[in-house]
């Protein structure tokens, strides 16, 4: 029996950029599981009491840690923190920007790039890139669809 974890998660605080002068912290959870090996889930814990979850490809998140990528609803790129995040010294930590668009509105969020990169390394140990098909149970999925 494989004793490796089947899910890797990371609780972190993102900054929701409201304007060039203002941002607010947003608690969030990154989740990746071998049951859905192509996708990452990010759940935002908002003051409304109802968490909001976005799902997009792990490959998109990986690419976004190095260069701008994505189009449409999810765009990701690495950069320096927004001045409104409250960090103003010259040695600022790199951040990962996530621009999310939905019918309900747009959001620009900043995540700590080193923490996201370390979490992605854990996800890659769980399911190496290119190994996604090895963990999918296609027979069970097909049987479920045909039932």
* 50-89 residue pLDDT tens: 899 999 999 999 999 999 999 999 999 999 765 555 554 4
Q: Which two tokens stand for residue 53?
A: 């979850």
Which residue has 């990010």 as its token pair? Answer: 42
Alpha-carbon distance of 91 to 78, in angstroms, equals: 16
Distance (Å, whole) CA 4 – CA 2: 6
pLDDT at 37 over 90: no
Task: Please count the residues of the chain.
Answer: 147
For 40-49, 68-77, 81-90, 116-125, which range has the lowest pLDDT when averaged over its residues? 81-90
What residues does each domain of the chain span? Answer: 7-136
Q: pLDDT band for position 1 (50/70/90)? A: very low
Residue 132 to residue 116: CA distance in whole angstroms: 20
Distance from C-alpha of 27 to C-alpha of 10, rounded to nearest angstrom: 11
Superfamily of domain 7-136: Sporulation-specific cell division protein SsgB (2.30.31.20)
75 contacts 107 by C-beta, under 8 angstroms: no
pLDDT for the residue numbered 138: 60
């Amino acid at each position: 029996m494989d004793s490796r974890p089947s899910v890797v998660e990371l609780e972190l605080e993102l900054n929701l950029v409201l304007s060039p002068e203002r941002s607010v912290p947003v608690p969030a959870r990154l989740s990746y599981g071998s049951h859905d090996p192509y996708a990452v889930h990010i759940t935002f814990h908002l003051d409304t009491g109802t968490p909001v979850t976005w799902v997009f490809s792990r490959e998109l998140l990986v690419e976004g840690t190095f260069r701008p990528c994505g189009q449409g609803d999810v765009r990701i790129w690495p950069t320096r923190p927004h001045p409104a995040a409250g960090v103003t010294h010259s040695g600022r930590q790199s951040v990962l920007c996530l621009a999310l668009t939905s019918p309900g509105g747009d959001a620009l969020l900043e995540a700590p790039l080193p923490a996201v990169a370390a979490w992605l390394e854990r996800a890659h140990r769980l399911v190496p890139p290119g190994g996604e098909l090895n963990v999918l149970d296609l027979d069970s999925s097909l049987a479920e669809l045909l039932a």
